[in-house]
Amino acid sequence: MVVAPRYSNYAEAQETGVRKRYKVDGQDMEVTFFQAYIDGMDFVFMDSPMFRNIEKNIYGGGREDILKRMVLFCKYTRCVLVIHNIAHQGRGPVSDFHYVDLPQNYIDHFKLHDPGGGEHFNIRAADLK
């Protein structure tokens, strides 16, 4: 199964009728799920205005906008580890931790020390720990 944000209207994808709310940066965000079978592969697309408003530029918006989309996507998926285009992998100041809406005792999972820039928040750090 492949789980992906629904960045556009994919012809094969059908709405499942499932709607969920996930907390991102203290706000409840509603998502709708779509499903498609393409070349024998099961796809689930997570639909939200946060994803749909950027269909032509998935890396669009500021660092915080990108982080919020990543957090919303990760709230549903059981396991996400995609390492590509490292400039967009969720690196920022430690103060960004509040966007993930997790208890404070999880903050160390998201901290990564960069010899050139000191300690920072990094979603990939949590993936790898």
pLDDT digits (tens, 9 = 90+) for 108-123: 988 887 777 788 888 7
Question: Residue 20: its pLDDT value, please?
Answer: 93
We report the CATH number of the domain holding residue 47 as 3.40.50.2000
Is the pLDDT assigned to residue 75 strictly greater than 80? no
What range does the domain containing 107 cover? 2-128
What is the tens place of the pLDDT at every residue in 14-50?
999 999 998 888 889 999 999 999 888 899 999 998 8
Q: How many domains does the chain have?
A: 1
DSSP per-residue letters across the chain: -EEEE--S--TT-EEEEEEEEEEETTEEEEEEEEEEEETTEEEEEEE-HHHHTTTT-TT-S-HHHHHHHHHHHHHH-S-------GGGS-EE-GGGGGGG---GGGGGGGEEEETTTEEEEEHHHHHH-
